[in-house]
Each structure stands twice: as structure tokens, then as C-alpha cells.
Chains A and B, each alone.
Chain A
Amino acid sequence: MSTENGISRRAALVKLGLLINGLVGAALAVPIVRYLLSPVIREKKTGYESWLSLGGLEQFPAGQTRLATYKNPVVNSWDGETGDIACWVRNVDNQKFQVFAINCAHLGCPVRWFAQSNLFMCPCHGGAYYQDGSRASGPPERGLFQYSYKTEGGKLLIKAGEMPTPGQPVASKAGVKTTCA
């Protein structure tokens, strides 16, 4: 075997070795990427949202807007207080309700309800909304996000589980009422 052949054979072995490494790397990359994308993939499969109780209807008097809190359906033991989410419940006339996300439709800051002026105001960039959640003024492009709700056994239930954002408002369409009383 000539030296020249020897060199080319070793060079070929190096290439083969690199190829094997590449194959193993690609095979390893699949589970790694899947692991990294797990928040996205999981969401696609089952969805994060489920029906949650906000408590008895008597907590929400007609014509008023009250703060309600719920435990997010998907939580870990180390989530602490961050698993508790707030929302605004408006009882329009005991028949019709509106449940607004706490997050401003502009950039997600917590909006506050002012019963005196019947406005929601955002402390971050000055967005304001009317009592029905529609945009009143400021930088938001749209009204407040709304959860779909139903009343069941004297309780108010909402479908929630994911933080609403301008790119992905809660699954339901604003103002659509789903009841199965």
C-alpha cells in the first residue's frame, strides 16, 4: 500500500468519522429540539384552556364589575403566586355577563376598574376602556380580551388557562355567550 493511498484512506476515514458524528448529532437534535419546543407542541395537542369556576353568582351583583381570581389550570408546585390569575367580571343584567382579562390589550399590563367613571384604565401607557370592554382612548388597538363563560349550578365558569396577548386573544370571540345552564 503506497503512502499516497494511506493518506487518502485516512482522509476518507476522517470524513467517514465526521459523517457518523453528523448522523448521531442529527439524531440527537430531534429530541433536543422537541424538548425545547415542548411549550409549543403541547399547546397544539391538548390545549391549555379549560372551564374554571370563578365562584357563586351572588359574588357578582347585577350592574357591577368586580375583580375575580382563579387558579390557572396548568400549574406546577413551584409556580407560587404566579398561578393565581385575576380577571374582571361584569354582571350586565343577571342574564348577561362579561369576563375581561386583566391584561391590557395594548401590552398586557393590569387594567384597573373605576366604578365612578365606569372606565378601565391601564397604568402603563394610559389605555382606557368603557365598561363593556370596548376601547375608549389611548394606545390599545382593540377592546379588552374577553373569556367565554357559562353559568352552571349557580356558579360562573370561564374558559381560561392562557395569558391573552394581542397576537393571540383568548380563543372565544368577544361578546359571544355560551350558556349551558
Chain B
Amino acid sequence: MRLIQKVGEWFDARLQLGTPIRETAEHSVPRETASWFYVFGSAALTCFMLQLVTGILLALIYVPSAGEAWNSLQTLNHGVSLGWFIRALHGWGSNFMVAIVLIHMVQVFLFGAYKFPRELTWIVGVFLLLVTLGMAFTGQVLRFDQDAYWGLGIGASIASRVPVIGPWAVSLMLGGPIIAGATLSRFFALHVFVIPGLLLAFVGLHLLMVLKLGINEWPMPGRIVRRATYMREYHELTQKQGVPFVPEAVWKDIFFSAFILAAIAVCAIHFGPFGPSGQPDPTITQIAPRPDFFFLWLYALLSFLPPSAETPILLIGPAIGILALLILPFVAGEGEKSWRRRPIAVLTILLVVVSLGTLTHLAEHTPWSPVMDAWSGQPIPSEFLHGRTALERHGALVFQAKQCHNCHSLDNKGGQRGPALDAVALRLTEDQLIRQVIQGGGNMPAYGKNLSPAETTALVAFLETLHPANQKPARNASQALAFGANEASSR
């Protein structure tokens, strides 16, 4: 023991870091901040460290070449001992990091930590969120599979919509005319050098400011932040009822970080690594590309925006969102910190969480996409065919053969792009059905050129049978007057 102490003293005599480190560790923090609510920042840092280590480990094997990346991932998964585990740790670490950064952000927002004098800490935090998302997206590209390839296509299509410089932005993003080797190389440079460098710099600034300005005190309803008095009040708070950060507060950070690391490891062992999915071969068209979890909400949003509003919303929306986050501490730099007295803040968080949650949930089911194999893989349930006439059954065949089933469900089987047709005869009269089939409309293609009159007649006859047994199909009452009762009933 004495030897270790002597070696330590030898180093400290030269480095002279012992005293500043001790002072930093033991600096006084308000007692209530030694709370389980204050552990997310350090947990995000722990995730980042894990990503650094596992990222370097993956770089020992990974080949950032469009022709070889996919093969090197297969080698990592199957050829290198425990390569799959390192990939899984990196993949799950990424998911956890994004999640914890978001939770941390919600916590500091609800606790009013962005108010005076911590405006810049918040702003750097916003940049940390952006570079974290940047890491998540570029990392998804490095998993150079079909999803990565077409994800780049989506990115390029969005970039191309920027007025004037759009086409240049695409060339710059792809590094050439198409998604190819140059594209992967530049995303590798971004993911491994540029963005981690920014991340390290921002983390350093963020932590420095947390130490210099002190951790945000526990917000009390009625304790108002004023620029003139806040610094003195905070100083008094830490003097009167402060506790040393180490060990009073830090033990919770340590425990939570260990818990998060363990959770990542358990997920990695249980669920394994993410992909890679199929080879990045653009001539394979039988695929449905999907982004990673944290971009699913955007994927859903893109299918719901009306075409005319899409480009402006895509380009202006993110700018407004980021700008709002950046100016928040200047608009609301003073006043109440407690979430109990800030209903709009709480409602904003609820709105964002519910919106993102709903969109993510929808994107997992993609109800807007035709079910490409429903026409051949999901037969019409027999109760829709039982006791039908030959014409009606022929209509059911047309329904399958012309792939109506890809977009319309019967008995919850088939696509959900269009409305379910279980009871369509209650909604539309025969004439309306014919018009809808031939002319389309309401987001349905027109099938007039694609169906013979006989096929249309059969299809509509089948659709006319789609109503509950105890309810009569919709009919046009004026027909009875126009054609006479007999004529109308025969139709």
C-alpha cells in the first residue's frame, strides 16, 4: 500500500491534478439534487463511453467499402468469436443512448434547468441531441444493408427538395451520382471521426458548465428565478444545505449507470445484433425498407403529410423545432421552475410524447402500405363466398386477381390502405360502387382501363353482398321513382 501511495505522490508532484480533481469531486451540491431524477445525464455519458469502446472494437473488423461492408458484418456476426455480441452491444447501446438523452432532456425541461444562468448548457445540450441523432442515422448507414441503402435514398430525396441547392446537396451527400462506395466512405468518416469529435467537444463544454454553474437545484413551487438574485440564492442554497457531490450524490449515478450497462448487455444477449438485413443490391425490388426505431415516427409522418404540404413541412418543420429549442432559454429564462406551476410545459411534453408514440406505433404496422402479397397469400374468408351466385363468386375472383385485397381488408385480412370492405354495401349503392371502381378517387387508383365491363359487373355484384345478414344494402331511393318499383328492385 505504501508503494502505491508513493507512486501516486510521484505522479501527482508532476501532474498536480490531485487537488483539482478532489475539489471537483467534493464540490457542494444542493441536497435534494442527490436524487434518482438526476442520474440521466451521467447515464447518457456512460452509454457514450460504451459506444466509443464497442465502436473501436467493431472498427477492428468492419470494412467501410460498399462492396465489402455487408460481408464484413456477416463475418462479425458469424465468423469472429463474440463479434455478434459486440455488434449487439453497439446497436443496443445506440438505442439506449438516444432514449436516455431524450429522457434527460425531458427531465431538465420539466425541472426548468434551462433557465438563467444555464441557457448555454441547454443550447449545447440541444446540439448534443442533434449529434446523437446524427450518430444514430450515420450508424444505421454503416450497417450497409437494404434498409441502409434505401434509407440513403430517402435522405437524398429529402435533401433534393431544398430549393436551388437541392441537387448539389444530393451529390455532396452521396459523394457521386448514385448511392455507392463514395457514399459509405463519407458516412464512415462522419460516424467515426467528425460527429464523435463534435460529440466529445460538446460533452466537454456541457460538463464544464455543469461544474462551473452548479447543478440545477430541485425546483420548488414559488421559488422564482430572477437574474438579479439567482446567483446569490443558489450560492446560499449550496452553502446552507449543500452536500459534497462525492459521495452523497454520485452513488446514485454509479448505480444507475451500472443498471443501464447491465440492461444493454441483457438486451444484447437476448435480442442479438441488429441485422444486417439483405445485401445492398439495388436490383432486388422485393423489399420494404424501414428505418431504425428512432426514425420510425418520421417514416410515418412522411406517409400522412398531404403531397402539397410535404416539402415545406419537411424543410421548415425541423428548422422551426430546433430554433424553438434554441430560443427557449431566452424566452423563458426567468420565472417558475417547478413543473407543478408550468402547465403548458407539461402539456407540451405530453403532446410530443403522444404524437411521437402514436406515429412510431403506426410505423410499426404501416397501414398506409399495400400488403403486397395479400392477393396471392390471403384468400377471401369462406363466409364471404358461402351461398353466393356464380357471378358474385366470379367477382370475388376479380377481387383477388386484380389485387383489391392488397389495399382492402375482409375480416381483418389484407391491406389497410383503403377502407375495410366487410360492410361496404351498407355505405355505397350499386351505382356508387361502379363509379368508385372505374374512376377511383379518395386516394384510390381508377380501375376503368384495367377491368372489362364483365369483370366490373362481377366485382360490383360481389361487393354488393358485403353487408351483415340483418341489414339491407344501401340503395338509391330515387331509382324507385325514376324507373318504377319493379325496375328498381330488379337492379
Contacts and interface: CB of A to CB of B under 8 A. Distances in A.
Interface stretch (A6-14, A22-30, A105-113, A149-157): A105-113
B337 to A, nearest CB: 42
A116 B375 contact: yes
Contact of B181 (A82, A117, A126): A82
Please provide the 3 A-B residue pairs with the shortest distance between their CB atoms, ordered closest to farther.
Answer: A80-B67, A167-B160, A167-B166
12 contacts: A43-B177, A72-B180, A75-B180, A80-B181, A82-B282, A108-B150, A112-B285, A117-B447, A123-B369, A124-B289, A161-B178, A167-B170
A79 B67 contact: yes
Interface string A89-104: 0000000000000110
Contacts of B307: 139-141
Contacts of B171: 39-40, 43
A48 B167 contact: no
B19 interface: no
Interface in A19-54: 36-37, 39-40, 43, 48
B308 interface: yes
Main secondary structure of the interface of B (DSSP, over half): loop
Interface in B140-172: 149-150, 153-154, 156-162, 166-168, 170-172
A40 B72 CA distance: 30
B65 A110 contact: no
Nearest to B446: A136
Interface residues of A, number: 57
A137 B444 contact: yes
A80 B174 contact: no
Given A107-B157, A108-B150, A126 B370 contact: yes
A128 interface: yes
B228 to A, nearest CB: 39
Given A86-B282, A114-B406, 13 more contacts: A69-B283, A77-B67, A79-B67, A103-B153, A107-B302, A111-B285, A112-B285, A116-B375, A118-B449, A124-B299, A163-B153, A165-B170, A167-B170
A175 interface: no
B170 A168 contact: yes
B109 to A, nearest CB: 31
Contacts of A106: 157, 302
B443 A163 contact: no
A126 B289 contact: no
Contact of B282 (A75, A77, A85, A116): A85
A108 B289 CA distance: 11
Contact of A163 (B177, B280, B284, B308): B177
Nearest to A112: B285
Nearest to A36: B172
Contacts of A102: 282, 285
Contacts of B369: 122-126
B302 A128 contact: no
Nearest to B175: A39
